[in-house]
Amino acid sequence: MAESDTLTRADLSDRLHEEVGLSRADSANIVERVLAHMCHALSTGENVKISGFGSFVLRDKGERVGRNPKTGVEVPIAPRRVLTFRASQTMRDSIVKGG
């Protein structure tokens, strides 16, 4: 993994290359295609569930009134769609146990 402690596409591609033995180009292509499929599914309103990892779920949030924290003035917040992630129990257990 990179020095920044962030897992990147390149990191995923490198691990695929090392562990499966695919070429670097094929590994990068697979990572890109998987992410593209996930993005496409989410953009069409589908949720994405990866067993043992977690679920990416789209939620529609209604219009509400917010407040500017500096001035205290109330402002309307438009309705919007948000993406949430919920880790699977397997993932949560793995994180708590340290890997």
How wide is the angle at C-alpha 81 spanned by C-alphas 63 and 7, nearest 5°?
135
Which tens digit of pLDDT belongs to each residue from 73-88?
Answer: 999 999 999 999 999 9
Series of mean pLDDT values for 10-residue runs along the chain (99 residues) = 79 95 95 96 95 95 94 94 95 84
Task: Name the class of domain 47-99.
Answer: few secondary structures
pLDDT at 2: 47
- Residues 65 and 47: their CA atoms lie apart, in Å, by 28
d(CA 30, CA 53): 18
pLDDT recorded at residue 6: 93
Residue 55: beta bridge partners? 49, 86
Q: Where are the domains of the chain?
A: 1-45, 47-99
pLDDT for residue 22: 93
Paired tokens of 18? 């090392």
| Residue 88 near residue 52, CB atoms below 8 Å | yes
